[in-house]
Amino acid sequence: MGKLNDIIKVLTMTADILVGMVGVMILAIGMYAITSDFAVYLDGFFTRLLIFLLATGLVGTLLSCFGCFGVVHQEGESGRVLLGSYQLGLFYLIIVCIWATFNLYNTVESLQLVQNDDSLTYDSLEENFATEYNRIYYEATCDAGSYTAFWGFINDNCPSNMWESECAAGCSTCASTCGNYFSTTTCPNEAECVDDLDSTNLSCPYVLCRSELVDWLLERLVPLLDVMIFCTVVLSINIVFNLLLICYSKRDSQVMMLAKTGVKSYDEVLLHEKNSV
């Protein structure tokens, strides 16, 4: 039993290191998401999502340290406390990973359908993304200099009637002339984009560039889904190993068993252990 416990300790330590690596990976993804392309301009729902992602990555990284210390001191009281705390943290992380995996899978599946038919209604994540994108677009038309990466993506991927040269140049200040400018051009018209969630309204910038933006989203969400699946598998294995370590009790020596059955006194056991040292 002792050898089996040692094997489980090695496997648990390896899983702890993997949990730490997953935590660092999630932190890296969160940092990348904050600084990549026009995602840097997103707020509201996406800001909360990124904060949650960063917090989860940090928790995973710190928890792996708890697990490693718990494995090293498994047979002591402090080791069991650490392993118990670690187990609670693992339950939290696996719930988060399962929730994220489920939602990401549904979102990716929905976006892949949109690649074939961009008139389909939005799912919950795309609703938030479309609302934020439309807001940013109209802000960018009034302050093009602060949205270089945003306009770079539009100029490279979206229809020409959305380009900076067409839609931002004539509306350099947020004055009343902007409304007149949009009404006399083919640019997305903010006044007519009354419903951000209408996937057929061509006055909304997101609708005009939806297929390209869906491709952009999928390039980032598919790898994130793979990370979440990997995270869920590793955490599931780690929970089982960690539980085995918590439940493990070192086998009593033959002399201790005799003491527990009343054949020998505990004083004799202590004397035997002292002499055997």
Residue range 223-255, pLDDT digits in tens:
888 888 988 888 888 888 888 777 766 655 555
Q: By residue range, what is the domain housing residue 112?
A: 1-116+222-265
Confirm whether 277 is domain-assigned: no
Name residue, tokens 């590793």.
234
Q: Indicate the residue among 177, 201, 216 that finishes a domain.
A: 216
Are 195 and 167 within one domain? yes
Are 195 and 245 within one domain? no
Are 112 and 132 within one domain? no
pLDDT value at residue 257: 57
Give the burial string for 216-243 (b: 16+ CB within 10 Å, else e): bbbeebeebbebbebbbebbeebbebbe
Are 54 and 98 within one domain? yes
Are 55 and 104 within one domain? yes
Are 105 and 179 within one domain? no
Indicate the pTM of the whole model: 0.72
Q: Say whether pLDDT at 177 is over 50.
A: no
Rounded-to-integer distance, Cα 234 and Cα 246, Å: 18
pLDDT value at residue 175: 45
Q: Say whether pLDDT at 42 is over 80.
A: no
**For 66-80, 94-108, 237-251, which range has the lowest pLDDT when averaged over its residues?**
66-80
Mean pLDDT of all residues in 38-49: 66
- Looking at the 3D structure of the chain, how many domains does it have? 2
Q: Give burial (CB, 10 Å; 0-12/13-18/19+) of 80.
A: middle
Rounded-to-integer distance, Cα 118 and Cα 137, Å: 20
Are 58 and 84 within one domain? yes
pLDDT value at residue 181: 47
Average pLDDT, the chain: 76
pLDDT value at residue 122: 84
Confirm whether 272 is domain-assigned: no
Are 111 and 229 within one domain? yes
Report the candidate in 89, 46, 55, 51 with the shortest Cα–Cα distance to residue 70.
89
Helix (H) or strand (E) holding 193: none
Band (pLDDT 50/70/90 cuts) for residue 123 is confident
pLDDT value at residue 275: 60
Are 110 and 133 within one domain? no
Residue type (1 letter), 242:
N
**For 116-125, 190-199, 254-263, which range has the lowest pLDDT when averaged over its residues?**
254-263
Are 109 and 232 within one domain? yes
The per-residue pLDDT for range 104-119, each reduced to its tens digit, is 898 899 888 888 887 7
pLDDT value at residue 131: 85
DSSP string, 153-212: HHHHHS-GGGSHHHHTTT--S-STHHHHHHHTSSSPPTTT---TT-TT-TTSHHHHTHHH
Are 106 and 137 within one domain? no
End-to-end CA, the chain: 22
